[in-house]
Amino acid sequence: MAQIIAVLDFGSQYTQIIARRIRECSVYSKIYHFSTPAETLRSEGVIGIILSGGPSSVFSEKAPLPDEEIFNLGVPVLGICYGIQLMGRLLGGEVAHGDRREYGHGTLAIQKPGRLFSGLPKRLKVWNSHGDKLTRLPAGFSAIGTTENSPFAVIEDRKRGFYGIQFHPEVFHTDRGVDVIRNFLVGVCGAKQDWTTEDYILRSIEGIRTSVGKSRVILGLSGGVDSSVAAALIHRAIGRRLTCVFVDNGLLRKGEREAVVSLYERNFKIDLRVVDASALFLKRLKSVKDPERKRKIIGKTFVEVFERSLRQVGAAKFLAQGTLYPDVIESVAIAGNPAALIKSHHNVGGLPARMKLALLEPLRELFKDEVRAVGAALGLPREVVWRQPFPGPGLGVRVIGEITSERLRVLREADAIIQDEMMKSGWYWKVWQSFAVYLPVKSVGVVGDERNYADVIAIRVVESKDAMTADWSRLPYDLLQQMSSRITNEVRGVSRVVLDISSKPPATIEWE
């Protein structure tokens, strides 16, 4: 039986991050509802339990409580934040109700490293977020670490393998937090660190097969990392019962549609329906200049086209989406099932609500880097796994002002040259996004002996971690020169190329 670390979810916004840290240690974990019977955990082969934090106070009438039998399973337990207070309360210690939440950085001093802090420094910066506080230890426990405000910041019952931590080891703001978690998993629970991305894929495939049964699944493929990995994973699980729909909105990059068809239809043998709706999109965008109106028209038309294409696919029961964990907005209600109440903001134009299809989101626990690892393990090429972000409205927000087929042609050609040069020089992989922008400005140029008025193309290349802030990339002059001369020579109708050297803020990454 597989070794499982059970994470009991008491509603913390960090529960999924605990699971992620466990995966980082190559150990398998599963998130369970806080009230899961101890017997279920035993029968599934749980070798250790982590009690997550949570927004409740143990003094609240509605405080979520675990099955107390979990403490008699003979497996180690680590209580984090709300989890340590639960242990204090349920195992006979005392907890004081705090009037104020202690929130932010603190310094942890370790008096006795024990197994949990083995190999770690004696002082660590930690992240607190708690109201109540343990004031008397339960029998069998001793305090091994203190913070400025708490003599019982880390507690241990070495014999039973019970540990409590007042702060959050799972968050980035806590120094060496992942080492603390690894010490619990390996040093205390005896977990073997043999859980890999392939194992993750096998589990997901099992999960997808169980939830889908014999039904059909439909997925809107955009060519981006998330929907591509979701498609490959679901296809591995149910083969031709997955249908992917790729909508050509006429605002794609050069060769994009062909690349998607070649990869999914020819290589992966996925049932892919390409819907060419470019004429409809361009008709509706005619004379529209305002960026937000463009976005609305593109979004609405996409939903319409996608819905229409569904009728041709036949009776699908599931709509698959490549929602990732960071897309998931937490709105956890403790009384119900926390997982069921988490909402997604990633549902393409509100599709699921309208279509009465069940959602299938096989990536919703994963972070971007993990999705890339899954994609690579599934055999997706580097161009897909490490593809730069591309906005839903596509070139529609990169032709400034009115969109016409001629402007799109110019932009597409110029953009293809930028991509080509970025790839050839290896810069494509180093930056966040690189693209061309079409400026509706006529500028003077000279062709042969004649003056002409032609279009302007801007080069936009930025570095960023999360698109919230961005800095313009310092590309080598030679590379910029190469892009510029190729664009003016090879793209009919461009007389001038400019470089965008604005950072975000105050500028945004896209021009519209």
Contact footprint for ligand XMP (CB under 6 A): 295, 389, 391-393, 433, 467, 504, 508-510
Question: Cα 197 vs. chain centroid, distance in angstroms?
Answer: 16
Rounded Cα distance, 40 and 23, in Å: 22
Q: Which residues partner with 344 through β-bridges?
A: 328
Single out the catalytic residue among 102, 156, 170, 413: 170
Smallest separation (angstroms) from ligand XMP to the CB of 239: 29
Smallest separation (angstroms) from ligand XMP to the CB of 225: 12
292 is catalytic: no
Residue with tokens 């992917």: 244
DSSP string, 405-430: HHHHHHHHHHHHHHHHHHHHHTGGGT
Single out the catalytic residue among 102, 156, 168, 365: 168
Which is nearer to ligand XMP, 309 or 434 (by Cβ)? 434
235 is catalytic: no
Q: Are 303 and 349 in contact (CB under 8 A)?
A: yes
Which is nearer to ligand XMP, 292 or 478 (by Cβ)? 292
DSSP one-letter code for 253: P
Give the end-to-end CA distance of the chain in Å, rounded to a whole number: 54
CB atoms within 10 A of CB 388: 16
Please tell me whether the peptide bond between 291 and the residue prior to it is cis, using omega within 30 degrees of 0: no
Which is nearer to ligand XMP, 115 or 504 (by Cβ)? 504
Which is nearer to ligand XMP, 458 or 509 (by Cβ)? 509
DSSP one-letter code for 68: G
> Among 221, 229, 180, which residue's Cα sits nearest to residue 78?
180
**Can you say whether residue 347 is alpha, beta or left, with left for phi > 0 and alpha for psi between -120 and 50 degrees?**
beta
**The token pair that represents 505 in the structure block:** 């803020």
Q: Are 376 and 387 in contact (CB under 8 A)?
A: no
170 is catalytic: yes
Which is nearer to ligand XMP, 98 or 291 (by Cβ)? 291
DSSP one-letter code for 436: E
Which is nearer to ligand XMP, 88 or 393 (by Cβ)? 393
Smallest separation (angstroms) from ligand XMP to the CB of 511: 8
- The catalytic site residues sit at 81, 168, 170
